[in-house]
A and B are shown apart, each in its own frame.
Chain A
Amino acid sequence: DAGVIQSPRHEVTEMGQEVTLRCKPISGHNSLFWYRQTMMRGLELLIYFNNNVPIDDSGMPEDRFSAKMPNASFSTLKIQPSEPRDSAVYFCASSGGGAANEQYFGPGTRLTVT
């Protein structure tokens, strides 16, 4: 398996633009997580899905952020409009069913909003 795939790896955009980050989880995994990592705040869980259904989105910073998982093999995180403070590395992770299973992280998308 290729592992968790994220695209793009790097994104530079101007304030106010829409940004869409993409994730393909490991085949067979039924849980998907979106994280944001910054120097100031560390690793933050934004939202997670179980069987394509959003379970906890309490970490989504504000209404500008939205996430979807239309099927078991694809998820998107959208920021509209983007702001400079959204600059961070965004990780997607997936895991198999059950609380005992570890998460597998993608390589991340480094987002820079100017």
Chain B
Amino acid sequence: AQSVAQPEDQVNVAEGNPLTVKCTYSVSGNPYLFWYVQYPNRGLQFLLKYITGDNLVKGSYGFEAEFNKSQTSFHLKKPSALVSDSALYFCAVRDGGYQKVTFGIGTKLQVIP
């Protein structure tokens, strides 16, 4: 079975400060990891993914995520937060040999001006 945990319901950060949204996962095989963002009244949008290779993955809008196999984590980061980054962020995991994706419950990011 595969699972993903987002331990924080909400993260508040001041504009211009670095942000981190946490994600841990559990899979039996090799993990494929994804981050998505959802703005109000919109569908989820793909941000970035880790499949293999470099542990630091860069994605859209200046976001990046670091894959840590020993800690089974895939935290989303951005060096300098923008008010427009305020949204709901979902971490997702897929066991390498399995098509079904499991999403986390989502973390609301609030960037304060």
Q: Which A residues contact B (CB, under 8 angstroms)?
A: 4, 31, 33, 42-43, 45, 48, 50, 55-56, 91, 93, 99-100, 102-108
Contacts and interface: CB of A to CB of B under 8 A. Distances in A.
26 contacts: A31-B99, A33-B101, A42-B105, A43-B90, A43-B103, A45-B100, A45-B101, A45-B103, A48-B100, A50-B99, A56-B99, A91-B43, A93-B44, A99-B32, A99-B95, A99-B97, A99-B98, A99-B99, A100-B49, A103-B44, A103-B46, A104-B46, A105-B36, A105-B43, A105-B44, A106-B43
A103 B32 CA distance: 13
A102 B46 contact: yes
A56 B100 contact: yes
B40 to A, nearest CB: 11
Given A42-B106, A43-B90, A100 B101 contact: no
Interface in B82-107: 90, 94-103, 105-106
A106 B41 CA distance: 11
Contacts of B97: 99
Contacts of B105: 42-43
Given A55-B99, A102-B49, 13 more contacts: A42-B105, A43-B103, A45-B102, A99-B95, A99-B97, A99-B98, A100-B49, A102-B34, A102-B46, A105-B36, A105-B44, A106-B43, A107-B43
Nearest to A45: B100
Contacts of A4: 43
B98 to A, nearest CB: 7
Interface residues of B, number: 23
A107 B94 contact: no
Contacts of B94: 99
B43 A48 contact: no
A100 B43 contact: no
B32 A100 contact: yes
Nearest to B103: A43
B51 interface: yes
